[in-house]
Amino acid sequence: MSPVTLLPFIVLIGAMFLMTRSAKKKQQQAAAMRNDLQPGSGVRTIGGMYATVKEVSDDTILLDAGPGVELLFAKNSIGAVLTDDEYNRIVHGIEHDLKSDTDIVPDDASSLTDSAGADEPADEAVAASDEKAVDLGKKDGPDEVREKAAETGQADADEEPKKTDGDSDTKK
């Protein structure tokens, strides 16, 4: 057999080898993560439940899911071990400020406007904003086109009704 005919088989075997190698590496990382669990760690199960590790044994793990709620899970059911900051953010809603020195952006835009506009009553502010017309690039509608055509004397061309998809000039 020539090397050209063997090339597809060699490529296929190489791809299979790389895929099994990466899958095996992921399995080893997951097993190491599960074996390194310590009581007090925050975890997420493969079902999406967040809990704190209470006890770890060989094949099982006891999780504290809330006050008075202890659940026994298999170690294989742990999907991820979370950092303390991530666990507190998700479960307790506690945000950890990494950049406490920076300015905080407010939720509404009203505090971003200048203070001179805040002294005006709301009606005057609305009237002031209506003084300038904003061109949004809108094209003239059909009524406006007809009015302009009538003014310029092109009304004769528009008097014939427009045809719809069902109308045709062909005779049967």
Tell whether 146 is covered by a domain.
Answer: no
At 154, is the pLDDT very low, low, confident or very high (cuts 50, 70, 90)?
low
Identify the domain containing residue 63 by its residue range. 9-92
Task: Quote the CA–CA distance of 58 and 74 in Å, as a whole number.
Answer: 9
Phi-psi region for residue 40, left (φ > 0), alpha (ψ -120 to 50) or beta?
left
Does the residue 16 lie in any domain?
yes
pLDDT in tens, 142-151: 666 566 666 6
Separation between Cα atoms, residue 106 and residue 112, nearest integer Å: 8
Determine, yes or no, domain membership for 71: yes
CB atoms under 10 Å from CB of 41, counted, come to 18
The verdict on residue 48 lying in a domain is yes
Q: What is the mean pLDDT of residues 69-96?
A: 85
Domain membership of residue 120 (yes or no) is no
Whether 47 is in a domain gets the answer yes
Handedness of CA 29, 32, 60, 84 (dihedral sign): negative
pTM: 0.45
Range with the poorest average pLDDT among 22-31, 49-58, 86-95, 156-165: 156-165
The count of structural domains within the chain is 1
Q: 128 lies in a domain? A: no
* pLDDT bracket for residue 85 (50, 70, 90): confident
Q: Note the pLDDT of residue 29.
A: 85
Q: What is the CATH number of the domain that holds 47?
A: 2.30.30
Output the pLDDT for position 155: 47
Task: Tell me the pLDDT band of 62, cut-offs 50, 70 and 90.
Answer: very high
Q: How confident is the model at residue 133 (pLDDT cuts 50, 70, 90)?
A: low
Mean pLDDT of the chain: 75
Alpha carbon separation from 101 to 49, 88, 89 (Å, rounded):
34, 21, 20
Does the pLDDT at position 138 exceed 80? Answer: no
Tokens of 37: 């669990």
pLDDT of residue 83: 85
Position 95: which residue type? E
**Residue 97 is assigned to a structural domain of this protein:** no
